[in-house]
Amino acid sequence: MDYFQIRGGTPLQGRIPISGAKNAALPILAATLLTDKVSTLSNVPHLNDITTMVELLGALGADVAIDESMALQVSAAQLNNQRAPYELVKTMRASILVMGPLLARFGKAEVSFPGGCAIGSRPVDLHLKGFEAMGACIDVRDGYIVATTESGLKGCDFTFDTVTVGGTENLLMAAVLAEGRTVLRNAAREPEITDLVAFLRGMGAEIEGDDTSTLVIDGVSELAASHYSVMPDRIEAGTFLVAAAATRGRITVENANAEHLGIVLEKLRDAGVNVTVEGNTITADMTEGQLTSVDLITAPYPGFPTDMQAQFTALNVVAEGVGRITETIFENRLMQAHEMSRMGANITVDGHSVIIRGKSSIDGAPVMASDLRASASLVIAGLAAKGETHVDRIYHIDRGYERIEEKLQAVGADIVRKSR
């Protein structure tokens, strides 16, 4: 099993190119199932989750061609089955996103109950409730969710009980081919949803209200071929900016979109980091001044992203003062706190919060990654620590960060991938 060996203590300095966003590319790949025409995608990150989604499209009968620059051409003209098998779905929760497109186009979808990161209970009840509101019948058989519709999906007026990114994406994709108008209320407003809307619009879908919590979709009978470049990964960019701050370095991320990182950049500035934005680059400079703890509470966009919470925990661990970080989206997403304690961090878990008393230095230690963003936070802690850290189970990090060790090595980090 692979692990990272990190020798910390070096301030990171340099430039890092940001990849396409995993959380935008996955729903867009699922949306290619909505048409029998060819979809061409660029800026798709080279990640295990993307490979899993491509395998899933292939298992459904789609033809996927990938060139050396990771431009993908998907043709879903010859789909021959509507069943997303357990073997693929168990490794990636985003597999549930094929349900909306399959149901809309073929009137049938079978998807194994999803897996993914172990970060608490992650139901899909709202996806299913929405499909039912559009006229689908939902059944559960042998661990599979079976959705069918006799006479096609019908537009509806649906309000999400809680803001769900995946649920909004799934119903949005179903609605573009449904009969009549669908209104989705209390919809998620994450930039990745706006990216999916832009992709669908490029195929000929009729959607209004992106960037707001009410999406209005007028169903069309078919969608066309399209070309689309996936948005930059805001979480990858944010992760490297935090790494710059925690190591007292200076990193410029390139091909990034600062508009998507509003509150994250605000919190970095609150922490004393000199953040500057120029065009599509963002620089975090912590080579001077005092790094100070920040308080934050995760919330749906434009609130503080749950996907950046663990990285800010690492930042607080080596900052001056006391910070409280509260997770409101997921139940079990504070596991990195225990691992960071093993490195000498002063952290107390208090219900859904962690209280961190910053220290001038922490020590390297062997630690274990529990989920994707937790692994990124342990890498940051290792880079900021004195001595050697081993981060185990880095298959989690490979799901969401493209060549992270190479990108970090390029800015001076002493990090090596090893196998045991």
Catalytic (active-site) positions: 117
**CA distances in angstroms from 217 to 96, 132, 173, 178, 209, listed in the order given:** 21, 17, 10, 9, 9
124 binds ligand UD1 (CB under 6 A): yes
- What secondary structure does DSSP assign to 64-83, as a single string? EEE-TT--EEEE-TT----E
Q: Backbone phi, then psi, for 253, in 5-degree steps? A: -95, 135
396 binds ligand UD1 (CB under 6 A): no
- What secondary structure does DSSP assign to 122-174, as a single string? ---HHHHHHHHHTT-EEEEETTEEEEE-SS--B--EEE-SS--HHHHHHHHHH
Q: Which is nearer to ligand UD1, 171 or 413 (CB)?
A: 171
Site for ligand UD1 in 64-93 (CB under 6 A): none
Q: Which is nearer to ligand UD1, 157 or 406 (CB)?
A: 157
Which region, judged by CB under 6 A, interacts with ligand UD1, from 132-140, 163-171, 268-276, 388-396? 163-171
Q: Which is nearer to ligand UD1, 11 or 300 (CB)?
A: 300
- Nearest approach, Cβ of residue 23 and ligand UD1 (Å): 5
306 binds ligand UD1 (CB under 6 A): yes
Asked if residue 251 lies in contact with residue 12, where contact means CB atoms within 8 angstroms, the answer is yes
- Nearest approach, Cβ of residue 402 and ligand UD1 (Å): 16
Residues 6+ apart with CB under 8 A from 357: 322, 346, 347
d(CA 283, CA 273): 10
The residue from 8, 49, 88, 122 that contacts ligand UD1 (CB under 6 A) is 122
Q: Which is nearer to ligand UD1, 94 or 380 (CB)?
A: 94
Which region, judged by CB under 6 A, interacts with ligand UD1, from 141-149, 157-165, 236-244, 266-274? 157-165
The residue from 236, 307, 339, 402 that contacts ligand UD1 (CB under 6 A) is 307
382 binds ligand UD1 (CB under 6 A): no
Site string for ligand UD1, 11-50 (x = CB under 6 A): ------------x---------------------------
Size of the site for ligand UD1 (CB under 6 A): 22
Q: Which is nearer to ligand UD1, 327 or 392 (CB)?
A: 327
Helix (H, G, I), strand (E, B) or coil at 303: coil
**CA distances in angstroms from 43 to 150, 227, 255, 272, listed in the order given:** 38, 11, 11, 33
- Nearest approach, Cβ of residue 170 and ligand UD1 (Å): 9
Site for ligand UD1 in 241-280 (CB under 6 A): none
Question: Which residues, listed in sequence order, are joined to residue 323 by a DSSP beta bridge?
Answer: 356
The residue from 11, 114, 167, 382 that contacts ligand UD1 (CB under 6 A) is 167
Asked if residue 6 lies in contact with residue 32, where contact means CB atoms within 8 angstroms, the answer is no
DSSP H stretches of helix in 203-281: 234-246, 262-270
Which region, judged by CB under 6 A, interacts with ligand UD1, from 8-16, 42-50, 74-82, 162-170? 162-170
For residue 113, what is the DSSP state? P
- Nearest approach, Cβ of residue 332 and ligand UD1 (Å): 11
User: At residue 208, what is the residue type?
Assistant: E
329 binds ligand UD1 (CB under 6 A): yes
Quick one: which of 239, 235, 263, 264 has its CA closest to 251?
239
Residues 6+ apart with CB under 8 A from 87: none
The residue from 81, 87, 125, 259 that contacts ligand UD1 (CB under 6 A) is 125
Asked if residue 1 lies in contact with residue 419, where contact means CB atoms within 8 angstroms, the answer is yes
Neighbours of 361 (CB within 10 A): 12
The residue from 114, 232, 300, 364 that contacts ligand UD1 (CB under 6 A) is 300
105 binds ligand UD1 (CB under 6 A): no
- Nearest approach, Cβ of residue 123 and ligand UD1 (Å): 4
Q: Which is nearer to ligand UD1, 190 or 285 (CB)?
A: 190
Q: In what order do the strands lie in the sheet with 144-148?
A: 83-84, 108-112, 144-148, 137-141
118 binds ligand UD1 (CB under 6 A): no
Question: Which residues, listed in sequence order, are joined to residue 391 by a DSSP beta bridge?
Answer: 4, 367
Question: Which residues form the interface with ligand UD1 (CB under 6 A)?
Answer: 23, 121-127, 162-167, 188, 190, 300, 305-307, 329-330
